[in-house]
Amino acid sequence: MKEFILRYQRQITLEGFGMEAQEKLSKAKVLVIGAGGLGCPVLQYLAAAGIGYLGVADDDTIQFSNLNRQILFGQEDIGQYKVDIAAAKLNALNDRVKIITYQERWNQQMCIEHFPNYDIIVDATDNFASRYMINDACVLLDKPLVFGAVSKYEGQLAVFNVVSNDIAVNYRDIFPTPPKNDEVLNCAEGGVLGVLPGTIGVMQATEVIKLITGVGAPLANQMLTYNALNNQYITIQLIKNSEAIKTSPTTLDIFMQTNYAHLCS
């Protein structure tokens, strides 16, 4: 108990936070899908903040080109699985956090099997197929989703499936269908400033903490866009989109039959 108070002293003493919020964090279960540029800072700050139970999913190994932004990993970790190194680093940071690793490419079956065990899902993936799949599963299974995405010098942040003013929007309310291949650049083609997913990832971790503790107002029904080049932050109000109902799977059976890889190519 003494260690608990010492470790989290700086946030326990925060006005409006206190022991009550800290205990909520220690009971919370958060799943972070993707342990890359966004996932690393999300995981690091959530482990440091004292989240009780942290799921980490990624099927990739560490590459040299990851190191400019994936800050949980070092040169000596090249070739190792991201989830293994992430778990070791997070455990060294805070061994009171229970870390569960999934060294697999996240799929539809895993959404249905594992989402019910978590309070909040964090989308830290790097492709539209995963993003649409995770979004649709969160809608069907009624899970709050903290979304982050980056491109070059810009990032987007949103909280989906959280009711505010009687509505709860999701990604399909913004973009009902995925873009075609020629309509967007991926990170490898377009590049990304290393620190940028750090900025957005830390903001995702902040939204997770706000959702769990009830401190502040989460970014529900809004999307924030950040441009690192000119320090422009724009937050837009979102509304339900009638197109989204037509393009979203309405049952888990239809969800399971949806070919996301095909949909997003």
Partner 1 sequence: MSIEIIFFGQLADKTGCSNVVVDNPGSIDALSMVMKMQYPNLATAKFVIAVNNKIVFDNEPIEENAKLAFMPPFSGG
Question: What six digits make up the tokens of 255?
Answer: 């969800």
- Using CB under 8 A, pick the residue from 234, 251, 253, 262 that binds partner 1: 234
Quick check: 192 binds partner 1 (CB under 8 A)?
yes
Instruction: Give the separation between CA 206 and CA 11, rounded to whole angstroms.
Output: 13
**3-class DSSP state for residue 41?**
helix
Instruction: Give the separation between CA 47 and CA 60, rounded to whole angstroms.
Output: 21
Instruction: Give the separation between CA 230 and CA 129, rounded to whole angstroms.
Output: 30
User: From the CB of 76, what's the least distance to partner 1, in Å?
Assistant: 24
- Using CB under 8 A, pick the residue from 26, 103, 225, 258 that binds partner 1: 225
Instruction: Give the separation between CA 258 and CA 265, rounded to whole angstroms.
Output: 13
Burial label for 26, CB within 10 Å (0-12, 13-18, 19+), is: middle
User: From the CB of 10, what's the least distance to partner 1, in Å?
Assistant: 29
Which of 49-57, 89-97, 111-119, 176-184 is the region at the interface with partner 1 (rule: CB under 8 A)?
176-184
Report the relative pairing of strands 53-57 and 98-102 from DSSP bridges: parallel
Instruction: Give the separation between CA 225 and CA 33, rounded to whole angstroms.
Output: 21
Quick check: 156 binds partner 1 (CB under 8 A)?
yes
Quick check: 94 binds partner 1 (CB under 8 A)?
no
Which of 109-117, 137-145, 230-238, 248-256 is the region at the interface with partner 1 (rule: CB under 8 A)?
230-238
Quick check: 254 binds partner 1 (CB under 8 A)?
no
Residues at the contact surface with partner 1, assessed by CB under 8 A: 34, 36-39, 123-128, 131, 148-152, 154-156, 174-175, 178-180, 182-187, 190, 192, 197, 223, 225, 227, 230, 232, 234-239, 241-243
